[in-house]
Structure formats: structure tokens, C-alpha cells
């Protein structure tokens, strides 16, 4: 597949995250609840090694609740601390705090036994672009904070942001990870949910992948949304039918580009309902 990030870019991102990790107690790894595995980056295991980590399935409001439950179970079975959150509407933030406290409990208990005050938990939020890092920081802080990414050549003092209750402090610049396109499916899943720009992959291909997935995973929601009685087997025919239903005809033919844009827009704006494009079973984790 023709997706490549500059190796220099990746090395820089890795260095910046590694530097930050030294300063903190807990890593909060944000992933997209609709594609929890594809929105992770495998280097996270290496760069966070040794630090307690909480996985946050963000945008849970957009994901299929049954699939999110399956993911929570799959992670927990591997002894991974995990919570599902909807940062946009501040849902699940208490569980997030509890999860972080749980990870620090033993260490904090030992400190208290020695008569030391553990102080607030220092945490860093990391994740790929667009996964909701800034939104979560703002919600946890209870106010809007200007969050700037790391800019080349700009060295900025790290600031600690106090959380509402004071039990946690967050580093103000989240750690940005690059998505890793291990295989074509990862790229399509990230593109379909809008995590990566459409220009990176061919729009028609993303739309055909999406039509195929929705047909398999959510046939009833697809029928309802586009008022279809039957769903053609073939993804091209399905997309054509959707275009026809919405009157996207040009010169007597369905305008494929418009039909592709329409399907992806409707998916990304939850018009087709709560959709997950990846389950633990897809990874044989069930
Ligand atoms: P960042 O690049 O990781 O900092 O991502 P942002 O915080 O800028 O979020 C990207 C987009 O996702 C924004 O449009 C947010 O409003 C939206 N968003 C973030 N978290 C959630 C969530 O939990 N639910 C929903 N529905 N949208 C979210």
C-alpha cells in the first residue's frame, strides 16, 4: 500500500513522547472505540514500557455498545486497565479517574505506609491525531485550554494542568503517535472513521470498503438509512444503489464520487447509527 510516513517524522514523534514519559506516573492511551486496535500504534508498548497504562476507548458514543463491551472484556482478560469514555459529552470521566487511581494504588499505599504523601497522579495522554486528546484534556480540566502540538524548533516549558478534583495532573501537550498501517485494513478502518485524511487513500476504495463492512456488520441500519429493501452482494452495486436513492445522477449515471462522499459523511456523522468497524473476534481475541 502506498502509505508512508517519513521515518524522520516518526523518529521525532517517538523521541518527544519518550521524553514526556519520563516525567509521569501513568500513561493514558486514547484509542477510537470504533476501531480500538487499528487506532493504536504498536510502538506504544515499547515507549511506555514500565509505566502503568490506562487504555481509554474514546468516542464510545459513536461506537456499537455491544462491540465496545466485547473490547472492554477482551482487554480486561489480558489484565489491561481499560475504560470506555465519551469525551465530547464528559461521560465516563469518573471511571477514568478510578482506573488511574487503581493503577497507582500499590505504589501510593507503600508511600503512605512510609508516611509520605503521594500527591496527585501525574498523567500523559497519548494517541493518534483526531482521537480526542484535546477534547479529553479540556473535559478533565473543566475548562478550555489552548492545546498546542509539538512544533518543530519550538521548545516550550511543559505545564501541568490540575484536574477538577486535584487528584490528577496532566501534561498540557499530549503525546502524538502516528498511526501504523500494518496492513491495508488498518488504513481503511482509520480512513472510514475519519482518523486519516481521505487524500491518503483512494476515496472510492474507502467507500467500497465501508459499503462492504456495513453490509456485513450492520445490514439493517444500512437498509433503514437509505430506504433499501435488499442489499446487493456487490459493493459497487450497493454504492450505486445508494447514489440512485439520493438522486446523485450525472449524465444518466450515478456519480460515484458523490455517492462515496455521501456514504462516508453519513457514517462519520452517525447518521447510520452507532457503528464499530473492528471487533476482538477480528483479531482472534474473543
Ligand atoms: P486530537 O487531535 O486527538 O486532540 O482530537 P480532538 O480533541 O481535536 O478531537 C477530534 C474530533 O473528535 C473533534 O471534532 C471532537 O469534537 C471529536 N471528539 C473527541 N472526543 C469525542 C467523543 O468522545 N465523542 C464524539 N462524538 N466526538 C469526539
Residue 147 has pLDDT above 70, yes or no: no
For residue 11, what is its C-alpha cell? Answer: 523518529
* Position 2 confidence tier, pLDDT thresholds 50, 70, 90: very low
Q: What is the pLDDT of residue 1?
A: 43
- Nearest-atom number in ligand 1 for the CA of 127 is 3
Q: Are 236 and 205 spatial neighbours (Cβ–Cβ below 8 Å)? A: no
pLDDT of the residue at 184: 86
Q: Is residue 62 in contact with ligand 1, taking CB distance under 6 Å? A: yes
pLDDT at 49: 76
pLDDT of residue 67: 98
- Which ligand 1 atom minimizes the distance to the CA of 128? 3
For ligand 1, say whether the CB of 133 is within 6 Å of any of its atoms.
Answer: yes
Pick from 81, 13, 73, 77: nearest CA to 47: 13
Whether 41 lines ligand 1, by a CB cut-off of 6 Å, is no
Give the residue among 95, 67, 71 at the shortest CA–CA distance from 83: 95
pLDDT at 7 over 70: no
Q: What is the pLDDT of residues 199-234, one digit of tens each?
A: 778 899 999 999 999 999 999 999 999 999 999 999
* pLDDT over threshold 60, residue 5: no
60-99 residue pLDDT tens:
999 999 999 999 999 999 999 999 999 999 999 999 999 9
Q: Calculate mean pLDDT across residues 36-57.
A: 89
User: Between 18 and 179, whose confidence is greater?
Assistant: 18
- The predicted model gives 45-60 an average pLDDT of 92
CA atoms within 13 A on the CB side of 158: 18
For residue 130, how many other CB atoms are within 10 A of its CB?
17
Task: Report percent pLDDT > 70 for the chain.
Answer: 92
Q: Is the CB of 13 under 6 A from ligand 1?
A: no
Ligand 1 lined by 134 (C-beta under 6 Å): yes
Amino acid at each position: 500500500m502506498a502509505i508512508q510516513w517519513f521515518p524522520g517524522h516518526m523518529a521525532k514523534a517517538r523521541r518527544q513522547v519518550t521524553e514526556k514519559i519520563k516525567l509521569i506516573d501513568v500513561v493514558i492511551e486514547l484509542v477510537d472505540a470504533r476501531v480500538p486496535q487499528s487506532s493504536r500504534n504498536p510502538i506504544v508498548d515499547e515507549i511506555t514500557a514500565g509505566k502503568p497504562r490506562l487504555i481509554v476507548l474514546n468516542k464510545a458514543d459513536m461506537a456499537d455498545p455491544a462491540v465496545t463491551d466485547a473490547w472492554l472484556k477482551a482487554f480486561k482478560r489480558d489484565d489491561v486497565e481499560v475504560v470506555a469514555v465519551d469525551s465530547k459529552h464528559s461521560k465516563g470521566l469518573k471511571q477514568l479517574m478510578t482506573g488511574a487511581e487503581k493503577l497507582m494504588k500499590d505504589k501510593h499505599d507503600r508511600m503512605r505506609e512510609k508516611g509520605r504523601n503521594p500527591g496527585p497522579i501525574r498523567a500523559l495522554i497519548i494517541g493518534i491525531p483526531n482521537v480526542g486528546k484535546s477534547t479529553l484534556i479540556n473535559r478533565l480540566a473543566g475548562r478550555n485550554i489552548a492545546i498546542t502540538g509539538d512544533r518543530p524548533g519550538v521548545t516550550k516549558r511543559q505545564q501541568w494542568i490540575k484536574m477538577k478534583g486535584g487528584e490528577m495532573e496532566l501534561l498540557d501537550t499530549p503525546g502524538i503517535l502516528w498511526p501504523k498501517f500494518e496492513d491495508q485494513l488498518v488504513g481503511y478502518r482509520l480512513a472510514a472513521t475519519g482518523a486519516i485524511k481521505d487524500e491518503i487513500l483512494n476515496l472510492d476504495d474507502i467507500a467500497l470498503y465501508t459499503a462492504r463492512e456495513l453490509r456485513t456488520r450492520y445490514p439493517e441500519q444500512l437498509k433503514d438509512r437509505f430506504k433499501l429493501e435488499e442489499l446487493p452482494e456487490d459493493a459497487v452495486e450497493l454504492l450505486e444503489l445508494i447514489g440512485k436513492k439520493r438522486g446523485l445522477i450525472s449524465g444518466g449515471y450515478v456519480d460515484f464520487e458523490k455517492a462515496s462522499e455521501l456514504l462516508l459523511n453519513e457514517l462519520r456523522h452517525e447518521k447510520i447509527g452507532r457503528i464499530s468497524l473492528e471487533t476482538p473476534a477480528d483479531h482472534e481475541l474473543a
